Amino acid sequence: MKLEIVQAGNPVLRQFARPLSPSEINSREIRELIESMRKCMYDAPGVGLAALQVGLSLQLAVIEDREEYHKEVAEEQLRERERRPVPFHVIINPKFTEMGGDQVEFFEGCLSVSGFSAVVPRARTVRVECLNERAEPITIAASGWYARILQHEIDHLNGSLYIDRMLPRTFTTLDNWAEFCKGNPIGDIKKA
């Protein structure tokens, strides 16, 4: 199944996705959808993809932050963002809780808002309760960049985009981000 990523303005991105039942999760159709979403995420490339982003209003997202994506990022930035590789996994019908109250601000992009980025405040640590691809309940404790990815994808499943949470004055094209923002402290960028 060949999937296309829909862009901002498509009404499906603003829907609250429907939960999946255990029997649906264990169906051949959902297994095939997960594999197709995984391929679509790799091809993009991205670190997460929600079903809404491929036009399906389902509480399902795939996530993987591959080590190869870190090669172009400075070691200092990886540390600052608490970014480590995250193996491929699926979250279904997720609910998250912010832990500790710490907020962090970093640039985020989105496959459904292609060509742009902005600073988005997010909880530094979260706990996510969801089902995996076998309809088994799991709890994920995440911090740093992984927590950001989870929050971004769960926002999608609830009909929100990062542009709803961004600091509006930081919204930029990716070309301008590379020229003016890349490697600069967020505090300096916010002041500009």
Q: Retrieve residue 171's tokens.
A: 């919204």
Judged by DSSP in three states, 104 sits in strand
Say which of 4, 72, 153, 179 is annotated catalytic. 153
Contact 32, 80 (CB under 8 A): no
**Which helix (H) or strand (E) segment is 23 a member of?**
helix 22-25
Known catalytic residue: 153?
A: yes
Q: What is the rounded distance in angstroms from the CA atom of residue 151 to the CA atom of residue 125? A: 10
Q: What is the rounded distance in angstroms from the CA atom of residue 33 to the CA atom of residue 43? A: 15
State the residue for tokens 């927590």. Answer: 147
Q: Retrieve residue 22's tokens.
A: 């255990």
Q: What is the rounded distance in angstroms from the CA atom of residue 94 to the CA atom of residue 112? A: 20
Annotated active-site positions, please? 153
